[in-house]
Amino acid sequence: MDRVIAAKVFIDVAQSNSFTVTADRLNMSRPMVTRYVAAMEDWLNTRLFHRTTRRISLTSAGEACLNDVELWLEQADKLSSLASVGKELSGLVRVTASMSFGSSQLMPAIQQFMRAHPEVRVDIDLEDNTTNLAEKSIDLALRIASNPDPSLIGKPIARCESVLVASPVYLEKAQAALGQIQEPQDLTDHDCLGYKHFERHIWHLSKFDQFESVPVDCHLTINEATAILHGTLNGAGIGMLPTYLANRFILNGELIHVLPEWKLKAMNVYALYSSRKHLSPTVRALIDHLAAYFQDNPW
């Protein structure tokens, strides 16, 4: 049996503690997973897992050799990468991103990459919750953050700025009752849309060397940026949105940039991957493509 595949199966079972979960993630039958694990145990001449009817766990010998197997697999992948230089990129790449970024920016970039490399298949998982890359066998995560998960490695591939926006209908109605929004503190009197996962809604703004932290009243909170976008378009109030969502609506007049001279904190879009496994040529090429694409196609 292929020892590289057997090593991958062993590492995955060590992470999932389940032959069934590993079978689903690696798209193979459960008996095949069992055979690969048995082959690993034969080659290493030691029992790697405790098996009961309810659970699977690493033996002390399995724990002792896990890191060495991971290092060996990394070297095997590296040799495979060297041998494949000049060959057409191929294989399946699993990518995760937020709903808003994935639908508005990632899809055209991915489609361009796949047209250039027709042997590549891509599986995209869009969710706003943080994903455990190992648990879902994710090859690449695109995350917007000021400080990315220290357990992952990667690089910034784009810059994400945010703006305060509202619809003309909302601002016209609010101006009649509250007057124009001229300073950050004026926001406290307005209806604002907030992100659900924040316990306190405080917007931090800066203008040159001035800094303001404004507590805002969010009667409507939502857990996803695209829904906040549609809330602002429908006149629900003032929302904080990434420019990759808001810019085209500002340009066509459906949204108005509120307090444009005041800036919100910018963050990076990171391409992140697990530090425990070596990047395949296809994943590395995809990262390079995304960085180049977003540089050539700013939002």
Q: Tens of pLDDT along 16-48?
A: 889 988 888 787 899 999 999 999 999 999 999
- C-alpha 110/C-alpha 119 separation (Å) is 13
CA distances to 143, 164, 211, 216, 250 from 240, rounded to whole Å, are 18, 5, 17, 11, 13
* pLDDT per residue as tens digits for the range 45-88: 999 999 887 788 999 999 999 989 988 887 776 666 555 555 68
Q: What does DSSP say about strands 238-242 and 192-195: parallel, antiparallel, or unpaired?
A: parallel
Q: Tell me the fold of 162-264.
A: D-Maltodextrin-Binding Protein; domain 2 (3.40.190)
Structural tokens at position 87: 């060959």
Compute the distance between CA of residue 272 and CA of residue 264 in angstroms, rounded to an integer.
24
The Cα-based distances of 177 to 218, 238, 240 in angstroms read 18, 15, 22
* 3-83 and 162-264, same CATH topology: no
Chain-centre distance of CA 112, in angstroms? 19
CATH 3.40.50.720 fits 91-158+268-296, yes or no: no
Averaged pLDDT, 192-209: 88
CATH class of 3-83: mainly alpha
| Paired tokens of 27 | 């798209």
- Predicted TM-score (pTM) of the model is 0.71
